[in-house]
Amino acid sequence: MPHSKITHDTVTAAVKKGTGKNKLPHSWKDPLHLLSRFLVKPHSVGSIWPSSQHLARAMIDGVALKPGDVIVEYGPGTGPFTQLLRNHVAAGVDYIGIEYDKNLYKNLTTRFSEMRFHHGSAEDTAAILKHYKLKPASLIISGLPFANMPTALQERILNATQEALLEDGMFRTFSYLLSSMRPRITHFQKMVSIRFNEKHQSTTVLRNFPPARVFSFSRPVMQK
């Protein structure tokens, strides 16, 4: 479909309808792939099991974008969220996935060949958008393991997120239920709360291992 003929309605319709590919379950190899990367880099991979389709749907729930808008995904891993974001790309939205693990990055470029990926760190998001001549993002979806991350890295990623988002943009992330009391998550929640004016928390997605909640942050405090 030519880009110029896509309207907001066609994006919404395409996203609601989905495609055959998006209805397929994950590859049975995905858990093995993520587990093998976790064994190599436990702290940065942060999880032994990919997110479920239920959590993926909660992460994308209510997202309304128009052609030309930019979505950034942090840490796509084996691609459970990417698989749903593919509908938006098919409807004219610009997408970039930033993946730190080279092996997972290579797999993403093969599996989702119509989408753009960058091998690097989310802390460089603002520079990465400039490099690809992309506009500031309307939506940043994160699959990052903030509970395992040094607090200084959390803060660098949050600074880059603030810088890379539009004034009316949104940042979405998830947190495993059992992680919420961990000191690094407490620090992350404090740091993210001072960078955004609005916060929304979903109900618990039980059909995920482990159960998780989705947090949406909007109206970023604009940096001077």
Ligand X SMILES: C[S@@+](CC[C@H](N)C(=O)[O-])C[C@H]1O[C@@H](n2cnc3c(N)ncnc32)[C@H](O)[C@@H]1O
- Residues lying near ligand X in the complex (CB under 6 A) are found at 44-47, 50-51, 74-77, 80-81, 98-101, 104, 121-123, 143-145
Bridge partners of residue 190, in order along the sequence: none
Strand order in the sheet with 94-99: 116-119, 94-99, 70-74, 137-142, 165-176, 212-220, 196-201
Helices (H), strands (E): how many in the chain? 10, 7
User: Which of 80/169 has CB closer to ligand X?
Assistant: 80
User: Which of 15/158 has CB closer to ligand X?
Assistant: 158
> Strand 196-201 and strand 116-119: pairing?
unpaired
Closest separation in Å from C-beta 224 to ligand X = 26
User: Which of 67/77 has CB closer to ligand X?
Assistant: 77
Closest separation in Å from C-beta 30 to ligand X = 8
**Between 29-40 and 102-111, two packed helices, what is the crossing angle to 10 degrees?**
160
Closest separation in Å from C-beta 179 to ligand X = 11
User: Which of 14/45 has CB closer to ligand X?
Assistant: 45
Closest separation in Å from C-beta 10 to ligand X = 27
CA 84 to CA 103: how far, in whole Å? Answer: 21
